[in-house]
Each structure stands twice: as C-alpha cells, then as structure tokens.
Amino acid sequence: MIDFSLSTEQQALVEKARDFTKTFVSPVAAKHDRSGEFPHEVAKEFFKAGLMNPHIPKEFGGHGRTVLDHLLVMEEISVGCTGIGTAIDANSLSQTPVIVAGNDAQKKEFLGPMTEECMFSAYAVTEPEAGSDVARVKTTATKHGDDYVINGVKWWITGGSVASWYFVLAKVDTKPTGFLVPADTSGIIRGAKEHNLGQHCSNTVRVTFEDVKVPSKYRVGEEGDGFRIAMDTFAHTRPGIAIGATGLARAALNLSLEYAKRRRTFDKKLISNQGISFKLAEMITKIDAARLLAHKSAWLVDNGKDNNREAAEAKWYASDVAMEAAVQAAQILGGYGFTNEMPVEKLIRDAKIYQIYEGATEIQKMVIVAKLMRLREV
C-alpha cells in the first residue's frame, strides 16, 4: 500500500516549522549571511519550540522522532535559510553515531544534557587529506592504560567552535574507531571560522587534537567499528541533506514565481513568457522528485531497511536540483538575481555545498553503482 499523505501530527509539525521559519529564520537570513555570525538566538528559539535534536530517544529525554519527521521540519527551515538550517541542525550529524552505536551510558551522558538546554555537538571526521575518502583519516588514537590519546587535525568541522563535544574518527593502529570527546578536554585547539562561499553563518572550523586523553568508556562500539558507524550515520543523515537542498530549491521557486507573476516586460507579465514559465514548471517537477526520493530514503531507514542507494540517490539528485533551481531563479530575476540586495544570489552560494558535504555527488554515484553491481536486474 502506498500512502503519500501526512498524519495529523506530521502536518502539525510542518505547520509549526513553517511558522518558525517565517518568524525566526527568514527575517534574519540576509543579516546572518552578511555578518557570518552564528545564529545563537535562532537556535535558542528552535530549542524552545521543541524542534532541535529530534532523533534523541524518548528514554533519554528526547522527542524520539523518525528521520521522516525530521525531514518535514528541515525542509521548511531550509526554505528560510540553509545556512541557519545547517548551523542549528548540525547536532543531528554528531548525535547519530551515539544513537546508532553508542551504549546507554554514553547516550545518557552525551545526549541527555542536550535535551535540557540549547547545546551543540560536532561530527569531527573530515581531515585535510581525507574528505570523501573517509577511511584515509590520519588522526590516531593510541591506547595508554585505560585511556586513548588522540592526535590529529580535523578540518571543515561544522559547529566546531560552538560544540560541547565531538564525535571523532581516529585510527587505533590501522582500525578506524569512533570516540566521544568533551570539547573542554585538554589539548583541543579550535581554529578560526572559515570564510566559505555560502552558508556563512554555519560555523565551520579546524579542530586540532594534541595529546587529547579520552577514557575508554567514550569509545563508540569496538575498535575498528568507526568506518561502519560513519557510514551508518550517513544512512540516517543523507536524507536530511537531500531535504535541505529541496527546501533551498523551493525557496528559489517561491521567489521566482512571485517575481515572474509581478514583474512586467514587453507590456506583459514575465510569467506570460513561455521561456520563463517552462523554467518554473521544470523547477516544481524536479523539486517534487527530489522530495519523493528524500522521503523514501527516510521511510526506508525508519522501517529498518537498507537505504544506502536511495539516500545516495536523494542526496545527489536534490543537491543538483538545488543548484539548478538557484541558478534558474537568478536567470528569471535577471540583474536583480545578481545583486546581493535580493535573496536569490545567496541561494546560488548556499546551494553549492550540497553537492559537496556529507559525500560529494561523485561519491553518491559510486554508492549507487556499488549497489547496482550486486543486482541482476532492476
């Protein structure tokens, strides 16, 4: 049975997130884009509204929401601003390894406090020489008695300078292993904020670990489980990236549509030109397709099914749709799509990262092909 409708609770969640976006996100999007300031105030409101940290299980004080529920919220937030969306939702990425592979003591210690106050955590996996090729990480964790000592450099860590703790992927001998590291541990050095092309208010920094001592109880899973945990995490979080991109594409469509219905050229409305209206038709169709892929990949993981291929499809396709929609929106607005006084040029800058982070488009295609090669037919 296929049912594309939302439950009453889900519909209420969408409306709540939509109101939140219009009240707290969109009005400050341009300001944060210009200043690059981390959106602490928005995050506090997000937390107060009960929309932050949706995945934390109820037994640890969280909402215990499904991945699909999370997508419904994040699509609305992303229509407002994907920079703010990334900043206030980066917790999801770092919390997921704890949720999927952590023990109860770790969940209580690291996730519990995040349900009581607005706090941040960060997923410290990427390194200067290891982005898409996660298994190549050079950070080491050396066993000393009952502790591990971590040394290495993590790069482009979202939320890195506001985090209270990190999920760190390091190698014990040659085995990739995950650790939970409180941010106030001696030896952690947070770098300056990176000045990126887009999503300016998302806090992206370098985090250096110099002889950082971590007790064994903070190891997630067994030694050597790190790569699997990182990949399992992406199965939960890539649908979220796909929906963020979908939200951005929706923003591009909303702006283009309103503009094309109002602006007059050659004595008629812009939308009356087929060259413009067809762009809008293509945008909505691709947005619908991207959303369906994202929802399906979320539904699969919520129901305990393998979603690797579908999550990769969703992430790849939606990020391309976001980029294309943003560029087309600028084309529809003409010169006004190129000025930073209008909200469209920001969409182009913000969209690009979707084709890169949490596995570049090329990696998504590799995941899809890897799955495809195991099939006789489709």
Partner 1 sequence: MSEISRLADKITTALKKRVYGKTFYCPVCHLELAYADADADGLVVCPLCGVVIELADVWGHPLPVVHDVEINRVQPKARMHPVLTHAPVGLLPFALLGALFLAVVSLLAHLLPSGENALLHSNEFQALLQAMPAISQITLLLLGLSVGFSLFTGISGYVDWLRRYGGRPYKVIQLKIYLTIAFFVVGLAALLLHATGMVFGADGLVAASLNGTLMTLVYLGLLSVQMGVIAVLGHVGGYLVFGR
For binding to partner 1 (CB under 8 A), which residues are involved? 21-23, 25-27, 29, 79-80, 251, 254-255, 258-259, 262-264, 336, 339, 341-343
DSSP string of 311-353?
HHHHHHHHHHHHHHHHHHHHHHHGGGGTSTTSSHHHHHHHHHG
For partner 1, the closer CB: 130 or 329: 329
Give the dihedral sign, CA 268/270/272/276: positive
For partner 1, the closer CB: 226 or 247: 247
Using CB atoms within 10 A of its CB, is residue 151 exposed (0-12), middle (13-18) or buried (19+)? middle
The Cα-based distances of 348 to 24, 109, 331 in angstroms read 22, 40, 11
Least distance in angstroms from the C-beta of 257 to partner 1? 8
For partner 1, the closer CB: 10 or 26: 26
Least distance in angstroms from the C-beta of 32 to partner 1? 12
CB distance 94 to 240 below 8 Å: no
For partner 1, the closer CB: 195 or 376: 195
Least distance in angstroms from the C-beta of 343 to partner 1? 5
Catalytic residue among 9, 358, 362, 377: 358
For partner 1, the closer CB: 232 or 345: 345
- Cβ atoms within 10 A of the Cβ of 253, count? 22
| Phi-psi label, residue 119: left if phi above 0, alpha if psi -120 to 50, beta otherwise | beta
Least distance in angstroms from the C-beta of 42 to partner 1? 12
Please count the CA atoms within 13 angstroms of the CA of 81 that sit on its side-chain side.
Answer: 31
For partner 1, the closer CB: 99 or 342: 342
Say whether 358 is catalytic. yes
CB distance 132 to 363 below 8 Å: yes
Please name the amino acid found at residue 309: R
Least distance in angstroms from the C-beta of 196 to partner 1? 21
Buried b (16+ CB within 10 A) or exposed e, 95-109: bbbbbbbbeeebbeb
The residue among 223, 113, 124 whose CA lies nearest residue 169 is 124
- Cβ atoms within 10 A of the Cβ of 134, count? 19
At residue 80, the 3 state secondary structure works out as helix
Least distance in angstroms from the C-beta of 246 to partner 1? 14
For partner 1, the closer CB: 207 or 329: 329
The residue among 46, 104, 50 whose CA lies nearest residue 80 is 46
For residue 152, the cross-strand partners are: 209
DSSP string of 132-151?
S-GGG---EEEEETTEEEEE
Least distance in angstroms from the C-beta of 193 to partner 1? 13
Report H helices in 127-273. Answer: 226-262
Catalytic positions: 358
